[in-house]
Structure 1
């Protein structure tokens, strides 16, 4: 399943969430960099008045930029759009997989028009639940088909074909994504933790230098303390360690669920298998959302 094969509501909410996430993280990054550069300007204690004046002016501009970016975050509410968009997109995606594989509420023996009505009704419920997102959704995307031709094509396959399609395109794809993201977040966590420790160590050494040479015009303490604090803030924002654990747990649970793959021989078995799998994926997303809101 490609992005274009999912309902327009999914595509619009997914795009809105990713854009809001990008904007939010970029503004936070610019904010932190502005403060780091401002602290870097205070490393050397100039004796002449003119250099000091320029340092003060530049530092003031950078701090004003940082203050403005903080206000932008508050006003634009990128974080809320990110979370709500992700929640809506994941809800639509799970519902779509249940529909095309004929799982709970969308069983194969339900008439086409009735199953279509059920699916549309559920999407309408999701849309109403997240109606605050409407102003952030792309109008041209939102009006794309609710049930695409690809969705009907997969739904009309026989039991074995639907089972194989689900394993390959949902379970395996999701497991690989979780595993890749888990290792990525582990690596990023270690890298940023190294930055924090290194900055704190250099700040301590700088204090030792100033104790030994109190007459020095060089002071690196504030600069590396700011780097350490900024790196810690970024680490808390990204939550690499928490995400690594959540993705690893989700991948492992999906692997256990897939172990029962051979027992799926009927539409009823497949419906239960899909329900268990989608519940496992939903739990990971629910955990992610809860961590982001704490």
Structure 2
């Protein structure tokens, strides 16, 4: 399913989360870069008073902007909006798959009008849980349908067609996404950690240089220390290692779920299979949200 085939609150929550994530990460990136550039222009000990004053003023301006960015991040709470918007979107998504697969509470023996009513009620409950996002959610996106034509089309498929669709477009799609993300986060974690170690080593070399040449006009210790500290901050922000472990675990669970599908389901069995599968997938983002609240 495409994003526009999901309910309006998924679309709205996904958009809010993506925008807040982009703003938060970019602001943190600018904050770290300003501190690095401030350290960079201070590596040379200028001899004239005018040169020193100029460098100090530029460095001070950079640090001031870095402080203002930190204040903006604190005030705007982009990180909270990012996490809660993602939780809203994922909650709507897993409920949608239960609905279109005729899983528990939305079985295909229920009249269409009743199943629609139940789905809309649950969507409203989810929205109420994230009512604090209403001030940033796009009204235009909320005007989209709660139950789309594509959702009704998939719900009307036969049992075997729904099973095939679910395995290909939900289970397999999530396996590919999680496994790709796990490998990507592992690679980035190793690269960034290597950068941190290299900068720490270069800081030690710079100290050794100053010990041997204490009258040198160049001091690179502050620069390499700042880059190293910024690298650690970026690692903490992106949580590459934690994400890699979470994505690997999710991939393993989904592969086990996929293996259980090699049987002929009855309507009741498939309903339970989808429910268990969606609970497993929602567990990952529920735990993710809980960790952010700690």
Please, what TM-score do these two structures have when normalized by structure 2? 0.99
Aligned partner of 1:129 in structure 2 is 129
User: Hey, what's the Cα distance between the residues in 1 that align with 2:271 and 2:259?
Assistant: 16
Provide the C-alpha distance between the structure 1 equivalents of 2:182 and 2:129, rounded to a whole number of angstroms: 31
Query: 1:4-43 alignment to 2 at 5 Å?
Result: 4-43=4-43
Query: Does the aligned pair in 1 maintain the 2:102–2:155 contact within 8 Å?
Result: yes
Partner of residue 104, structure 1:
104
Residue 171 of structure 2 corresponds to 171
Q: Distance in 1 between matches of 2:204 and 2:291?
A: 33
Is residue 282 of structure 1 aligned with residue 276 of structure 2?
no
The whole-number CA distance in structure 2 between the counterparts of 1:291 and 1:129 is 18
SS class of match (1:106): coil
In the TM superposition, residue 13 of structure 1 has moved relative to its aligned partner by: 0.5
Question: Is 1:257 aligned to 2:262, yes or no?
Answer: no
Give 2:61's aligned residue.
Answer: 61
2:84, 2:289 within 8 Å by CA — same for their partners in 1? no
| Structure 1 contact 17–86 (Cα < 8 Å) conserved | yes
Task: Give, in whole Å, the separation in 1 of the partners of 2:107 and 2:61.
Answer: 62
After superposition, what is the alpha-carbon deviation per residue over 1:86-133, rounded to whole angstroms, capped at 9, x for unaligned?
110000000000000001110110111111110000000111111110
- Equivalent pair of 1:264/1:273 in contact (CA under 8 Å): no
- Where does the alignment leave 5 or more consecutive residues of structure 2 unmatched? none
Question: C-alpha offsets along residues 198-246 of structure 1, whole Å, 9 cap, x if unaligned?
Answer: 0000000100000011010110001000000000000011000010010
User: Could you tell me how far 1:290 is from its partner in structure 2?
Assistant: 2.7
The Cα of 1:197 is off from its aligned counterpart by 0.1
SS in 2 for 1:262: coil
Aligned partner of 2:187 in structure 1 is 187
Measure the CA separation in 2 of the matches of 1:291 and 1:127. Answer: 21
Q: How does 1:83-232 map to 2 (within 5 A)?
A: 83-232=83-232
Aligned residue pairs total: 294
Distance apart, 1:267 and its partner CA:
1.1
- Between the aligned partners of 2:141 and 2:264, the Cα distance in structure 1 is 36
Does the Cα contact within 8 Å between 1:103 and 1:272 map onto a contact in 2? yes
Residue 77 (structure 2) pairs with residue 77 (structure 1): yes
Unaligned runs of at least 5 residues, structure 1: none
Give secondary structure in 1 for the equivalent of 2:241.
helix
Structure 1 segments (4+ residues) deviating >2 Å: 290-294
Check the 8 A contact 2:85/2:133 in 1, yes or no: yes
Equivalents in 1 of 2:208, 2:25: separation in Å? 35
Counterparts of 2:239 and 2:129, CA distance in 1: 27
Give distance in 1, aligned partners of 2:66 and 2:56.
15
TM-score, normalised via structure 1 length = 0.99
Q: Which residue of the partner structure matches residue 241 of structure 2?
A: 241
**RMSD value over aligned CA atoms?**
0.8
Distance 1:82 1:69 in 2: 17
